[in-house]
Amino acid sequence: MGLESLTMVRHGESTGNAALAQAIQDGAEVFDKGGRDADVPLSERGKIQAGLVGAWLMRRPERPTSVLCSPYVRARETAGIALQSILVPESRLDERLRDRENGVLSGLTARGIARRYPVERQERERLGRFYYRPPGGESWTDVALRLRSLLPELSGHVLVFAHDIVVVMTRYILEELDERAILEIESNQLANASISRWERTDSGLRRIAYNDTSHLE
């Protein structure tokens, strides 16, 4: 059985997301994630958002036949809250769904990168965000390579809890986009707890929703 539908949920707001937003507002160079990126939890707002994702899932006519999740805490917490009242298969962790690794630039705002790593900033501007790989980190295309090994394994009605770049690059792969197209799409940042969905049609997988936040209103 092939892939019948793919529903992807970006995790709810994390304490790291909130800290970054505050740091940008304050004009700071760094923000405190509170530990390893893999261990960053949901904020209180993120927990509420995860509950609203669960309410949306309860209203769906079909139930997922498999559930996959990034091993990072913020994605696991989103899945746990969203699925707590829904009878679905046990969530399976897959490290290919983890967030992009930022290497030496982790924990820095754009201001911090410009001041502390001006050479890396220039290199990113030269190569573009799509291909640039920070020291010790990953490029967007590195994330795509992970996903190209995962997507062919999926079948049935699949529900995924992951991160913004994972959803963005899944769209890049499924819709056979190029660099320019995906950069234009990504210029509108994928919202926390947003839902993106593709469904099988006679002509292949068709995008039904992308970056949908109507369930949060």
- Contact of 74 with 41, CB cutoff 8 Å: yes
Confidence of residue 188 (pLDDT cuts 50, 70, 90): very high
**pLDDT of the residue at 66:** 97
Rounded distance between C-alpha atoms, residue 98 and residue 119, angstroms: 27
Whether residue 203 is predicted with pLDDT greater than 90 in this model: the reply is no
Rounded distance between C-alpha atoms, residue 97 and residue 169, angstroms: 11
Q: pLDDT tens digits, residue range 47-104?
A: 999 999 999 999 999 899 999 999 999 999 999 999 998 989 899 999 999 999 999 9
What domain range includes position 104?
5-216
Cβ contacts of 51-54, under 8 Å, gap ≥ 24: 51/81, 51/82, 52/193, 52/215, 52/216, 53/9, 53/12, 53/78, 53/81, 53/82, 53/193, 53/195, 53/215, 54/81, 54/82, 54/83, 54/84, 54/85, 54/86
Helix (H) or strand (E) holding 40: none
Q: Which amino acid is residue 153, in one-letter code?
A: E
- Compute the Cα dihedral for 14, 103, 174, 128 and give only its sign: positive
Q: Are strands 3-10 and 66-69 parallel, antiparallel or unpaired?
A: unpaired
The domain that contains 75 carries what CATH number? 3.40.50.1240
Q: How many domains does the chain contain in total?
A: 1
Q: pLDDT tens digits, residue range 120-149?
A: 999 999 999 999 999 999 999 999 999 999
Mean pLDDT of the chain: 96
Whether residue 18 is predicted with pLDDT greater than 80 in this model: the reply is yes
CA-derived radius of gyration, the chain: 17
- Contact of 14 with 161, CB cutoff 8 Å: no
Whether residue 1 is predicted with pLDDT greater than 80 in this model: the reply is no
